[in-house]
Structure 1
Amino acid sequence: MEVVNSGNSSLQIPGYRIVRKINQGGMSTVYLAIQRSVGRQVALKVMSPVLNADPIFSERFQREANIVGQLSHPNIVGIHDIGRYRSLNYIAMDYMSGGSVAERLARGPMEPLEALNVVRQIAMALDHSHSKGYVHRDLKPENILFREDGSAVLSDFGVARAVAHTTRMTNSGMVVGTPHYMSPEQARGNTIDGRADLYSLGVVFYEMLSGAVPYLAEEAVAIAIKHLTDPIPKLPARYALYQSIIDRALAKDPVKRFQRGLEVADATDQLVAALAGKPSQQISQLNNVSVGVSSLARALFLTLFSDLRDRFSKIWQVKQGDPEETRHARKEQDTVVRLRQLVNEPMKHKRPWTLSTITAALLLGWASFSLFSPREPQHSEIPMLDNVSRLTGDTKAGANSPDIQQVNEEEAPAALKPARHDLANNGIHSVEATRARAQSRSLNPPQVSKAPDTQPSAIAPRESVISQENASATVFEKSENEASPTPSYGLTVKTEPEAARVRIMNITPRYQPGIRLKPGLYDVEVSAAGFIPYRRWVQVGDRDLKLTAKLQKSYIAGKTIRSKLNSGGFGPQMIVINSGGFSMGSEKFKNSRPAHRVNISKPFAISIHEITFAEYDRFALATGTSQPSDAGWGRGERPVINITWQEAQKYVEWLSNETGKKYRLPSEAEWEYAARAGIDHPFWWNRADARGKANCRRGCDSEFNSLFTTKSGPVGHYQANPFGLYDTAGNVAEWVQDCYQPGYDKSRTTASPVSIKNCQLRSVRGGSMREPSNRIGADYRKGLDENSRAKDIGIRVIMELN
């Protein structure tokens, strides 16, 4: 049982080890915690005592949260446990390390495609929840979170609904929802349905683009009145392309809004397709927006006009000497977005003759440029704006990602063979990449010459090669011969593991092996508990299609792993650390300069504590290696000492052979990232005082040191850092993989170890029991000959995650 100080009282939640407070609001406090039974890292939300004091709320909270916990969707936060302890209601949920939309907006407005990505994913989550009869009621940026891979997830389901149904609380005047994001009917107190959530999503979309909510006032009542009476706000001119979504989402009358999340997703898909210069692939037939030449011409003219206006405005501000108002020049990749601002906006007035002439001239110039400019290889890409599983490690498709491929590729037509392409690290198209691709194309869909006896290519995980003929053949297209029915073909997906769930996301019928489908594109998702879900578009052509989907195991941050040894027993206890970025080094020590940003591109598992004598002796006895001296301090659970860097290499090689996994020493970057545990301070306890926190010579008040003697302590004797690692400061220092160099090369931004030919000095990290407290921080480092033995140096190991 963990006891955590919370104000003047103590919080106790059996079964959880609470690491730190993540956030606190009026209704709840959220902690990062470890669920002891499974070693899982969770976000533990503990409801406010004000709410817990109401028995009606507690009863409804438990019932509603249990039901909502059954919602299963990639873009809805997963609930692992719901409970009550000493009048405290709590929920254990997925821990989202990517922060929230609110935190993202604190850095300024989001890029349009990034905002569309979020809107689409949340719209699909809402469509799922609404189909189950659940309305969120409190959708706002704080409740939209990001996974490590950047996918958006909707949180706080059930709580708002429980509050809304608590008669005592609503009678006392509690407002259900947040005023800035409330729909008009919600502000009136009327009965609401899923369309109220879509209104709130529209407000969030407006805020993501503009950086501000649409209606501002000092009082909550005044804000509600604005939602009821004020006209729908207009986006800045450069975002006019997105105004159609805002207009429908923020309609005062629910009948005039999007009626379900699927419609919102359709609208975002069409916008993305327009930006990329491709025919759109709708999830449903609920929206049908065509792009006319006149609209494109108008968009081109007004965009160029806006560009000139912005330039003159900038020059004027500079001449006026007002640096505060001087805006940075727009990036080049913004051009495509601004070229297509008004493609869906109808013409309200006839253009004067002069405007028509200018527009025609611009169109002629654009057409000439399109005809004579060099073209890319003719292919188109379908942006994957859904929740795509995070791909770690090598950024080549198939390297560390689940793979879907056809069973008989050699016998299949070339059209259906999967291609391999580089992927972004986060598993989705980045905004910059999507815009860059769109920039390089003309405004028309790509023309693909059809070679004799060739077939249109199938959709690979992120890219496709589709002929113009087939690009228009959607799931819902009628055949050319109206008298004859459209043929259908079978789709079978063989999965590993066999129990994996297969869903086709853009059709209503459930997947069954051999399901009959009309020719077109289908969004196939394969998922299984404990595995990374995978999603891709596939194309059904003119024959039955068989696919194989092999999923990779999923490793959740904080999950503990122990691999079996072929000779019996288990290897070291490992814990999964997520990928991320951090500031490595410091200006405190000369050989730790300069501080520089490093990106850990893939998760890894690292031993929870230093390798013990018991673990190393198993290797020594199995291989006939001499057992190192323990300096008279004892073996067993004390960290192994007196081993060289070369002997450490032999140990990890033996572990790899025994387990079939890849073990190695950590790089300096990986070691420091794990030791800091997300904290910028050199000490994970976030202050210089090390007393009672580690085993060191001076400043730690260590029970293992005296005035005349120093020795190591058993591993895990002191508290673990927030990542669950013990003794990253003090006790024994640790060999790492890198060749030692005084200071850092700040241009190195990756976690790969420094490698130099004929290297003799190796880096040692973490300080030891023989050093003072100011030299045991995560930023302290030194070099030592790789053939040296020392009684204050041991090792910690990493296992690569496949």
Structure 2
Amino acid sequence: MEVVSSGTASLEIPGYQILKKINQGGMSTVYLATQRSMGRQVALKVMSPVLNADPIFSERFQREANIVGQLSHPNIVAIHDIGRYRSLNYIAMDYLPGGSVADALTKGALEPLEALHITRQIAMALDHASNKGYVHRDLKPENILFREDGSAVLTDFGVARAVARTTRMTNTGMVVGTPHYMSPEQARGAAVDGRADLYSLGVVFYEMLTSAVPFQAEEAVAIAIKHLTDPIPRLPARHSLYQGLIDRFLAKDPDQRFQRGLDVVDAIDQLLAALDGKTPAPTTKLNNTSVRVSSLLRALVMTLYGTLSDRLTASWARWRDKPLHQQNPRAEQQTIMRIQQVMQQAAPVKRRSWLFAGTVAASLLLVWVLFSLFSNKFQWQSESGLVSDAVDITSQILLPEPVSDTSTARNTPPEQIPGPITPLITDQTNQIRPIIRSEQSPVAPVETATSAKSTADADAEEPEADTKGATQEDSRPVSEPEEPSVEDVPPTYALMVSAKPKGARIRIMNIVPRYTPGMALEPGRYDIEVSKAGYSTVRRWIEISSADVNLAVELERKFFPGKSFRSALKSGGKGPEMVVVAPGEFTMGNNRRPFTSPEHKIAIRRPYAIGVHEITFNDYDRYAKASGRALPSDEGWGRDTRPVINVSWQDAQRYAKWLSNETGLNYRLASEAEWEFAARAGTDTPFWWEDGSAKGKANCRRGCASEFNSLFSISSAPVGNYKANPYGLFDTSGNVGEWVQDCFLGDFTNHRNDTRPVQLKNCELRVIRGGSMRDPLRNITSDYRTGLSEKATSREVGFRLVMEL
């Protein structure tokens, strides 16, 4: 069996220089390559040779190139070349270096305006594809990528299909799509059109706003049921402005959704115009129909008049004992046509009082209700009928569509259906398999109503049989019970997943049975997820074809040393950038200074995250506006990315508490030991740059050659203006001093050997570390410390935070 090597050296395709592997899935591998003839970089998608023997996957791979080749749109990935070299099928397409929506969601929810613009661009792409007659059928965050300029691009048309044509890749009753993003009609296995893609786009829009999908469950079948039956979820209160869009995106009935992508574009444009305080632009010509109240009232009156005339004629005929004319089967269609004609022909009239219109409408409604009751118009359904409808809906999800005529199947009694019923959802993308049946669990015979009735009849005929003699009784043929037909059992192979660290959770996402070590599975593709708290989740597709599969997975810690991240805020946006610091030991203090002696050993036993930058005005002003507090002065130096100043130790504590509530994580001021350990960054010299020049590394009064300090003026520098220390922290020396948790004592005589802060009752002074732009070079060392009242503010003091892991 030929396997494509993961290395680039063993892969050769004429006309292309393979640079590196970008991504790998169960069906193909994507490489960054240079197309030699054009001298441009492309994404080279190479199909796994293992799948070449399967015509289904080969056709899907070929179809993706053929479909995208017919779709020329700035928000749809472009195909440059398609070919086959030896056993390798490949497609050369646009290289999109900006990552995917799924990548962006790993950092938390997106800003609402960003989510709106992405949704608008993908809606335009879907509208173009729908006009060409294609339905994507697998729209999800992984299939929305970004160009360098940030524009969104729709990719992966591997399971797309033409609305007006059929293909052997999908059959009636088969479900195609990813369970979390499929529309209700996809869950049923029914025919779909472009409105199914708009439903999936609505799910992605919801996820971009909240960082969670609207319908969640452990198993694929349960997710499909929720798409069919659960109400449309409500957005958090802060995003209530977009609930109207979600309601139209996720309507269960396709007729109540957006009907095409341009409808979505119109709705978003009007919303954006309203947010900007502008007059909404006119809608597209395809969606500009408006109906006056007077036109609707007139149409209702005409309909009531026609219905009342028909009823009176029928009553008169019955009273005269004359036979009634057979009801016209097109009566309802003619009524609807009358309404449409009235609405289309209604001339503009002068707008009347809403009170008068409401009174007329209420009167007409009352007349209609009374007349309907008089003529037995209402026919109530029993509760059992409602339950039956619910069972029918559920059965459409859980049971495969029969190949034979559906009318025959519906009329067949349950006892005549052979064999057990196996739940099944078939998915060309995920290959969701049937529930695994144990060969050691025989099906117990069930006594049917028919057999019970036959037994009762035989008992009733026994006396008569005795009078006729034993000969006739013995001559009766005895029917042998028929052997139940046994389906061919497909071969199965063992799947063994070895995960590190121990205790990791292993799940197979696209089948119902839970994973057990060495479980037997039929040939196919399986979606494996391995997860554990504190580690990054790994999810990958594996192929089981003709042998047992052993999969080894080692999880990576979610917060590993050197990792930088920004936590999402509940109110939108991101918190300050943090970096993870590994545990270690260092010598704290400096015996050459009275306030920093004696030197002592400190052991950092747990990793923690500390701010890459000092808290900026951008960060703090968001909090101040949200909490109604006064904005601190910037001394005329500028706000934005400059470190916040004129904040007290108590103000810093309040900000940390607010940030913790916004993120659900534990933020606080650093202890002295944590601050100095991160500022030293593994060095044992006064400065993290050791004995080199301070130029370009710090903002201080004398000795730094700072462009923000001169003989007549001085100011803070924007964060990140100078080089970072080896741990990735900026401005630990100079710029602004930084509050920490500890009470200020004159020295380290009563020192500790851990990171706990010094806390005293009636503490008046708090420690400030790092020095400021007004200090000389000797006072911005990693060990320098001073004290200030916790209620005081200063133009030279700000702060940075620690996040506990």
Answer yes or no: same fold by TM over 0.5.
no
Which of these two proteins has the greater Rg computed from alpha carbons? Answer: 2
TM range (shorter): 0.3 to 0.5
TM-score, normalization by structure 1: 0.36
TM-score, normalization by structure 2: 0.36
